[in-house]
Amino acid sequence: MSTKRTGGRPVLIIGVGNEFRGDDGAGLVVSRHLGALGLEGVRVLEVEGDGTAVMAAWKGADAVILVDAVYSGAAPGTVHRLEAHARPVPGSFFHRSTHAINVADAIELARSLGELPPRLVVYGIEGKSFEAGAGLSPEVEKAVQEVVDAVRQELRAIGVAGAASGGDTVDRPAH
What residue ranges do the domains of the chain occupy? 11-160
Question: 11-160 belongs to which homologous superfamily?
Answer: HybD-like (3.40.50.1450)
What average pLDDT does range 116-133 have in this prediction? 91
Q: What is the pTM of this model?
A: 0.84
What average pLDDT does range 30-59 have in this prediction? 90
> How many other CB atoms are there within 10 angstroms of residue 14's CB atom?
24
What average pLDDT does range 156-165 have in this prediction? 67
Per-residue pLDDT at 173: 45
What average pLDDT does range 13-17 have in this prediction? 94
pLDDT at residue 123 is higher than 60: yes
Nearest to 80 by CA among 96, 98, 68, 88: 68
What average pLDDT does range 143-149 have in this prediction? 96
Vertex 110 angle, CA 122 and 129, to 5°: 40
Nearest to 28 by CA among 12, 6, 49, 58: 49
pLDDT confidence band for 9 (50 / 70 / 90): confident
Per-residue pLDDT at 169: 40
pLDDT at residue 167 is higher than 70: no
CB 51 within 8 A of CB 99: yes
pLDDT digits (tens, 9 = 90+) for 65-114: 999 999 888 999 999 999 998 887 776 666 555 556 788 888 999 999 99
